[in-house]
């Protein structure tokens, strides 16, 4: 089988490619640049931008399956950049699949496309899309997910996966974000409750993608469906953060907690300042981040278990063990 992985050089994309190669697939990666670690896996690499329709079409030619993982992530940035990568890019992938006769597509979405203003506890896939979003990322990913679901039909089978909060050795977003704040020794809890949150070890998310790739075909019962993916072991969010700091030998959380209300207002103020001036980078605190840290969001993954045969191979404790071992071999990133 021949597969194209968009965003193949990224954190999740690399983990998915490794699993595909292990299963004997021939893999092509589509990214903006080349990656030495993909060369070592024997992966064909094509460079381009997801918003470039011609480049995407060239990448999709002569493959049996597309795993569309590439996206612009983050809680801050220009709206047009998110639209270009997440909406226009997904539209180009869908068009290229039809044009090139590709009949199977696995799409990487996000649980944030259905986040309400409040807790999500044991949520299932029938949770509706909210009317508004705090960030461009979930807003654009929701549009793209709907496009993928609606594209499923007699000529194309699609499956959308929603892995929540990817983590593990080599993570480029969640763990670096925690450590950037934690290594200052000034990281303090927000909110007085330690809410339950789902996390997804990267190898588990990769396994779910490969299982979906092996399951879907035109006319199959999983085509057009969406699935939450996680560890299946929700953990108090600040407990998780404390464990990550411990694995990295970083300073522990400061005692005490900042009330959620004032933190939310501070996040709103920082957003306004960053927009008005404007300042480089992203604000150290945003409303979306405060809500992520002070609300419960964990999901029922029984549908993925039933339909895809998904069972997370790496539990939380094993994940922390692997993370600590990885940090022990990275002396330059230890505090």
Query: Residue 113 and residue 304: Cα distance in Å, rounded?
Result: 18
Hey, CA dihedral for 63, 311, 198, 38, is it positive or negative? Answer: negative
Q: Which residues sit opposite 201 in a β-bridge?
A: 167
Q: Is the pTM of this model over 0.85?
A: yes
Domains parsed from the chain with CATH numbers: 2-164+201-230+299-312 (3.40.50.720)
Question: In this predicted structure, what is the pLDDT of residue 335?
Answer: 40
Closest listed residue to residue 170, CA positions, set 331, 4, 330, 332: 330
Question: In this predicted structure, what is the pLDDT of residue 331?
Answer: 67
Reported as type and span, the H/E element at residue 26 is: strand 26-31
Rounded to the nearest integer, the mean pLDDT of the chain is 95
**φ, ψ (nearest 5 deg) of residue 168:** 140, 175
Structure tokens at 120: 């999500």
Hey, CA dihedral for 295, 300, 301, 304, is it positive or negative? Answer: negative
In the chain, the N- to C-terminal Cα span, in Å, equals 45
Which position has the token pair 């909060």? 165
Catalytic residue from among 35, 107, 137, 227:
137
**φ, ψ (nearest 5 deg) of residue 297:** -150, 95
State yes or no: pLDDT of 324 exceeds 90: yes
**φ, ψ (nearest 5 deg) of residue 247:** -60, -35
pLDDT tens-digit series, residues 221-255: 999 999 999 999 999 999 999 999 999 999 999 99
Query: Residue 17 and residue 303: Cα distance in Å, rounded?
Result: 24
pLDDT tens-digit series, residues 116-171: 879 999 999 999 999 999 899 999 999 999 999 999 999 999 999 999 999 999 99
pLDDT tens-digit series, residues 269-280: 999 999 999 899
Query: Residue 99 and residue 108: Cα distance in Å, rounded?
Result: 21
pLDDT tens-digit series, residues 202-224: 999 999 999 999 999 999 999 99
State yes or no: pLDDT of 330 exceeds 90: no
Q: Which residues sit opposite 168 in a β-bridge?
A: none
Query: Residue 310 and residue 163: Cα distance in Å, rounded?
Result: 12
Structure tokens at 162: 């929603």
129 assigned to active site: no
């Amino acid at each position: 089988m021949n597969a194209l992985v968009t965003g193949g050089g990224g954190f999740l994309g690399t983990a998915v490619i490794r699993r595909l190669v292990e299963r004997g697939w021939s893999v092509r990666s589509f990214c903006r640049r080349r990656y030495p670690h993909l060369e070592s896996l024997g992966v064909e690499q094509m460079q381009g931008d997801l918003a470039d329709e011609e480049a995407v079409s060239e990448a999709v030619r002569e493959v049996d399956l597309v795993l569309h993982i590439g996206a612009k992530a983050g809680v801050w940035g220009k709206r047009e950049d998110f639209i270009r990568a997440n909406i226009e890019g997904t539209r180009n992938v869908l068009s290229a699949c039809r044009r090139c006769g590709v009949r199977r597509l696995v799409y990487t979405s996000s649980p944030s496309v259905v986040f309400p203003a409040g807790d999500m506890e044991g949520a299932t896939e029938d949770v509706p899309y909210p009317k508004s979003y705090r960030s461009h990322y979930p807003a654009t990913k929701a549009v793209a997910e709907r496009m993928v679901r609606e594209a499923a039909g007699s000529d194309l089978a699609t499956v959308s996966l929603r892995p929540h909060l990817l983590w593990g050795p080599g993570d480029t977003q969640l763990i670096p974000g925690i450590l950037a704040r934690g290594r200052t020794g000034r990281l303090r809890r927000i909110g007085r409750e330690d809410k339950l949150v789902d996390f997804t070890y990267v190898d588990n998310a990769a396994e779910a993608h490969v299982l979906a790739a092996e399951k879907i075909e035109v006319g199959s019962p999983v085509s057009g469906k969406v699935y939450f993916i996680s560890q299946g072991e929700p953990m108090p969010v600040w407990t998780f953060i404390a464990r990550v700091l411990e694995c990295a030998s970083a300073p522990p959380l400061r005692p005490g907690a900042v009330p959620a209300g004032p933190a939310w207002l501070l996040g709103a103020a920082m957003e306004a300042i960053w927009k008005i001036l404007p300042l480089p980078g992203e604000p150290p605190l945003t409303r979306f981040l405060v809500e992520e840290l002070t609300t419960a969001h964990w999901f029922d993954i029984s549908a993925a278990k039933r339909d895809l045969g998904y069972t997370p191979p790496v539990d939380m404790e094993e994940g922390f063990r692997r993370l600590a071992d990885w940090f022990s071999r990275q002396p330059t990133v230890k505090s």
